[in-house]
Every structure is written in structure tokens, then in C-alpha cells.
Amino acid sequence: MTVTESRILALPDEAATARLALAVVRCVRPGDVILLAGPYGAGKTAFARAFLRAATGDPDLIVPSPSFTLVQTYALPDGVEVWHYDLWRVGGTEELAELGWDEARAGIALVEWPERLGALTPPDALTIALAPVPGAPNARVATLSGWPDRLAELAP
């Protein structure tokens, strides 16, 4: 049995979420998958937006939620592509081939609603489980697991 180390971080506001996203950008490598878990309204898209703005170096980058398109791609300055998935409306893993899942694995994949990946969930992914804090707008608790060689670097 493998024990996965995890880290719990308080994110009191969207600025703290952006700092966490920046810390992840500093550690991410081509081939990485970042799984953004949590209920509706937990801040998954806010994290993805902050990650993409930091990774591209464009603080004004328009990052729409891919809720209807299911996937959006972004080119980073070094030529690596980030694939931002929202799998809420995906009916099964067979649809992922049509959404470029194999191609995305050569770049960086950000996945909202990762439980829809099923058997395609990479065992070496970083999972960021976000949970809203009741009564505190924009406050979140993030539980990070995976990336045992890099997890300690992810404190915003």
C-alpha cells in the first residue's frame, strides 16, 4: 500500500489562491497533470485562471471557463501547451480521445472535475482539492497530494 503525503493550506482570499497557482507554475513540468477537485463554486476555475495568467506571464489573459467548450489550450512562452479541461459535461472516458487527451499529456493538463477521468487518471498527478469555507466569501481550504518530490515547494 502506498501512502500519499498531503498538505493542507488555508487560502483566505483569491490572492492566496493566486499565490498557490504561482507556486505550482514554478514547479510544473511538461507531462504534468494537475487535478482540480471540489464542489461547484470551490474555486477550481479561479485557480486555473491564476495558473494560466502566471504561466503565460500575462496578468490580463482572458481565461473563460471551458464548461461549454470542454477544453481550451494556451501556449506558454517556451512553446509548451497547457490544456484546461472542464469535464463536468463529459459522459465517459471515451470522449477524452476526441478532446485531445493524448496530445495534452505531452504538455500540461489542468483538469476540473477529474473524477470523470476514471481509469485515465494519471497516478503521478498533483491533486488540488478545494473546499469553500462557510461564511467566508472567496476563502478556501486546499488539500494537495501527489508530486512527492515537489510537494514541499508548494506553500504560497
Confidence (pLDDT) at 3:
47
Q: What is the pTM of this model?
A: 0.91
What are the C-alpha distances in Å from 128 to residues 43, 106, 112? 11, 21, 10
Euclidean distance between CA atoms 124 and 7, whole angstroms: 16
pLDDT in tens, the chain (156 residues): 344 688 999 999 999 999 999 999 999 999 999 999 999 889 999 999 999 999 999 999 988 776 767 899 999 999 999 999 998 888 777 778 888 888 999 999 999 999 989 899 999 999 999 999 999 988 999 999 999 888 888 765
- Write down all domains in the chain, each with its CATH number in brackets: 14-127 (3.40.50.300)
